[in-house]
Amino acid sequence: MKFTFANPTQPSRGVAVIFALEGNKLTPSAKALDTATGRAITRALKVSRFEGKKGQQLTLLAPGAAGAAAKLDRVVVVGLGKAKDVDARRMQDAGGAAYTALATVAQRADVLVDQVSKRGLGAGDAAAEFAYGMRLRSYRFDKYRTREKPEQKPKLRTARICGEGAARARRLFGVHGRIADGVFLTRDLVSEPANVLYPVEFAKRARAELRKLGVKVTVMGEAQLQKLGMGALLGVGQGSVRQSQVVVMEWNGAPRKNTRPIAFIGKGVCFDTGGISIKPAGGMEDMKWDMGGAGVVTGLMKALAGRKAKVNVIGAIGLVENMPDGNAQRPGDIVTSMSGQTIEVLNTDAEGRLVLADVLHYVNERFKPKFMVDLATLTGAIIISLGSEHAGLFSNDDELSAQLSDAGEAVGEKVWRLPLGPAYDKMIDCDAADMKNIGGRGAGSITAAQFLKRFVGDTPWAHLDIAGVTWSKKDAPVVPKGGTAFGVRLLDRLVAEHYEAG
Residues classed as catalytic: 279, 353
In the chain, the amino acid numbered 451 is F
d(CA 484, CA 471): 6
Facing residues of 336 across strands?
342
**Half-sphere exposure in the Cβ direction for 182 (13 Å, CA):** 27
HSE, side-chain direction, 13 A CA sphere, residue 321: 21
Sign of torsion over alpha carbons 42, 46, 50, 52:
positive
Going by C-alpha positions, the residue among 359, 357, 361, 271 that lies closest to residue 315 is 359
| Residues 6 or more apart in contact with residue 260 via CB below 8 angstroms | 312, 368, 369, 370
Cβ–Cβ under 8 Å, residues 456 and 372: yes
What distance separates the 2 farthest-apart alpha carbons in the chain? 86
Residue 4: partners with Cβ closer than 8 Å, 6 or more residues away = 158, 159, 160, 161
The Cβ of residue 212 has, within 10 Å, a number of other Cβ atoms equal to 9
Overall size of the chain counted in residues: 502
Which residue in 308, 229, 304 sits closest to 264, CA to CA? 304
How far is C-alpha 326 from the chain's CA centre? 36
Q: How far is residue 133's CA from residue 3's CA, in Å, rounded to a whole number? A: 12
